Amino acid sequence: GQQLNQSPQSMFIQEGEDVSMNCTSSSIFNTWLWYKQDPGEGPVLLIALYKAGELTSNGRLTAQFGITRKDSFLNISASIPSDVGIYFCAGRIGNQFYFGTGTSLTVIP
Amino acid sequence: DVKVTQSSRYLVKRTGEKVFLECVQDMDHENMFWYRQDPGLGLRLIYFSYDVKMKEKGDIPEGYSVSREKKERFSLILESASTNQTSMYLCASSPRSGPKETQYFGPGTRLLVL
């Protein structure tokens, strides 16, 4: 299956800092999704993007659907300790979803 | 709120046992998926289903089968569990393809095969 290139693989940041992560692919997607996964839990949907160029916010989170439809980024502003977890991107083609390998975020109080 | 539930959070089974993992969604979604998640390998699709009694192989179907007798329920079956099937299993559902299709996950089942 297709794999999305997600970077960075891991991040260690101070509480209060902003965070940025992105996903790229050689394929064009119809939808980009961003999930957060806590240890031992299933991924929880954070933001869904449906149109090229779309910029969507959810609290301190902002995500954009790239104009080329081959990439997306997620920003987290003013990080807090509970932002710790693994963040995944996912892209949809038809009925199938393809996932990035995840960005592990550690927030140091 | 979309709800996807999985029958067990943790399971311990012995090699050779038949294992059933159940998934139920309450949003009348047509599509349901089973993934396994392993460190360094990300999420890999095992099987998916577009409708009742329909199933399609994903990327790693070997050693697994599925059953979709009712729209809300999608079962993953390990016919004869092996140690290399120790993993986190995630079920997901989504509505039939449309402009706003989004996928929702269950809490996961962590399976240990001894």
* Cβ distance of A94 and B50 shorter than 8 Å: no
The residues with which A21 forms a beta bridge, in sequence order, are A74
User: What pLDDT score does B22 carry?
Assistant: 97
CA–CA gap between residue A18 and residue B14 (Å, rounded): 46
Chain B positions in Cβ-Cβ contact with residue A46 (cut-off 8 Å): none
Instruction: Give the pLDDT mean for B72-91.
Output: 97
Question: How far A99 CA sits from the closest chain B CA (Å)?
Answer: 7
User: What pLDDT score does A39 carry?
Assistant: 86
pLDDT tens readout for residues B31-66: 999 999 998 788 899 999 999 999 999 989 999 999
Instruction: Give the pLDDT mean for B1-16.
Output: 91
Statement: residue A95 has pLDDT above 80: no
Helix (H) or strand (E) holding B79: none
Instruction: Please give the single-letter amino acid code of residue A87.
Output: Y
Burial B18-57 (b: 16+ CB within 10 A, else e): ebebbbbbeeebbbbbbbbbeeeebbbbbbbbeeeeebee
pLDDT tens readout for residues A31-90: 999 999 998 889 999 999 999 999 999 999 999 999 999 999 999 999 999 999 999 999
Contact by Cβ (8 Å): A41, B107 = yes
Contact by Cβ (8 Å): B46, B36 = yes
User: SS3 for B84?
Assistant: helix
Statement: residue B1 has pLDDT above 90: no
CA–CA gap between residue B29 and residue A48 (Å, rounded): 17
Phi, psi of A83, rounded to the nearest 5 degrees: -75, -10
The DSSP secondary structure of A8-41, one letter per residue, reads: -SEEEEETT--EEEEEE-SS--SEEEEEEE-TTS
B21 close to A (CB below 8 A): no
Candidate from B33, B42, B99 with C-beta closest to A101: B42
